[in-house]
Amino acid sequence: MLSLLLLAIGLATVLVTVAAAASRPAPPLPSPVEAIPLAALGLQWRRLRDVNTRRGPRTLWAGEGDPVEYQCAWKVAREAMSAVGYSWSVLEGSVTGTGTLEPCCWEDASLGDGPILRALDQVSEALVENAASREREEDARRRSDELRAELDGSVRREALADLRTSLRDLAWAWPRRKRELAESLLREPEDYGGAPQARVAQLARELVHEVFYAIDTVRRRAASDPLHAWLERAESEEIRRLALVGVLHVTAQDEDCASVRNSRGWGRSHTHLGHVLAEEKSLNVIQASQALGALHRHRKQLPGWLQGKLFGEAA
């Protein structure tokens, strides 16, 4: 019986304690305890009461302490534990008294101590095997990651290189939050073999694609959506050439990409358009009409001669 086993362990502990303390003054007597604790499955077990159940008389024990090991044992050796009464119950009179499921044991005293001891041995073996299995799985995952890093390491490095290039050359096209996220990716620790982590490389590619798509959207709009107020003037080849000169001039002043209000460079409503047009070698009529509309809003930044040529206004 579990109770007899507890008693035997307790008596052995008392004898050892008495022998060790024989050469020193006796300490004060401790306050009475309700039961002798037995460590098993990571818990201390305390006898609550005897109960008559449908399966016969049982002694109810409460497991007290951190139930992490008990939970793990329950997952890997539930059948062996259930066979000797281990379970989960809402226990009245337990130390925690939380009203939630707690580890317990419904001991069948008529079976003696043997079944519980054998069950604990089975649980111990199952826990060892489970730990070994998890270690094998972790080793397999690690080898898989190493192999994957070797196979596609160059692809991942290319993704991060593209991200750095885009941040450097297309700074104007990166909104602040996207830029912060991109810069945090560049600080992420590397994977096996010195390659970027797969998730980092994937997200880097997605960000670069999103920025490229935004630029392409502006480029297509600039090429297909004329500003009719400036369309007739943009039909002049000389005006188109000078419009590109003006775009390059204002873009060169736009170092902050419209993030600071300083009367230099493009404003927020024109910064993407201005940078996109500045990448063109020449402007067609539609693009030039867009450029003239943007430049007219920023004409005070243009040299006097250029302002006069484009808009007929002296500086």
Per residue in 25-38, pLDDT tens? 444 433 333 332 46
Query: How many percent of the chain have pLDDT more than 90?
Result: 11
Residue 247 pLDDT exceeds 90: no
Q: Is residue 260 part of a domain?
A: yes
Q: Is residue 176 part of a domain?
A: yes
Q: Considering the entire predicted model, what is its pTM?
A: 0.44
d(CA 230, CA 243): 11
> HEC string of 208-277?
HHHHHHHHHHHHHHHHHCCCHHHHHHHCCHHHHHHHHHHHHHHHHHCCCCCCCCCCCCCCCCCHHHHHHH
- Please state, rounded to an integer, the average pLDDT across all residues of the chain: 79
Among the candidates 221, 239, 268, a domain finishes at 221
Q: Do you know the residue count of the chain?
A: 315
Statement to judge: residues 59 and 107 lie in one domain: yes
Statement to judge: residues 208 and 238 lie in one domain: no
Among the candidates 56, 87, 112, a domain finishes at 112
CA 1 to chain centre: 50
Burial class (CB in 10 A: 0-12, 13-18, 19+), 200: buried
Residue 185 pLDDT exceeds 80: yes
Statement to judge: residues 94 and 10 lie in one domain: yes
When mean pLDDT is compared across 22-36, 52-66, 227-241, 245-259, the lowest value belongs to 22-36
Residue with more model confidence, 200 or 193: 200
Statement to judge: residues 23 and 105 lie in one domain: yes
Statement to judge: residues 259 and 217 lie in one domain: no
The total number of structural domains that make up the chain: 3
When mean pLDDT is compared across 7-21, 52-66, 206-220, the lowest value belongs to 7-21
Statement to judge: residues 172 and 258 lie in one domain: no
Statement to judge: residues 215 and 247 lie in one domain: no
Q: Is residue 203 part of a domain?
A: yes
**Do 302 and 310 touch, CB atoms closer than 8 A?**
yes
Per residue in 78-136, pLDDT tens? 898 888 889 888 887 665 556 688 898 888 888 777 888 888 888 888 888 888 888 88
Q: Is residue 129 part of a domain?
A: no
Per residue in 57-88, pLDDT tens? 988 888 888 989 999 998 988 898 888 889 88
Q: Is residue 253 part of a domain?
A: yes
Q: What is the pLDDT of residue 97?
A: 55
Q: What is the pLDDT of residue 266?
A: 83
Per residue in 257-279, pLDDT tens? 656 566 678 888 888 888 888 88
Full residue range of the structural domain in which residue 183 is found? 152-221
Residue 5 pLDDT exceeds 80: no
**In the numeric block, which tokens belong to residue 225?**
């959506």
Statement to judge: residues 217 and 257 lie in one domain: no
Statement to judge: residues 179 and 200 lie in one domain: yes
Residue 163 pLDDT exceeds 90: yes
Statement to judge: residues 230 and 188 lie in one domain: no
Statement to judge: residues 180 and 86 lie in one domain: no
Q: Is residue 124 part of a domain?
A: no
Q: Is residue 130 part of a domain?
A: no
Among the candidates 164, 190, 221, a domain finishes at 221
Statement to judge: residues 185 and 250 lie in one domain: no
Q: Is residue 140 part of a domain?
A: no
Q: What is the pLDDT of residue 308?
A: 87
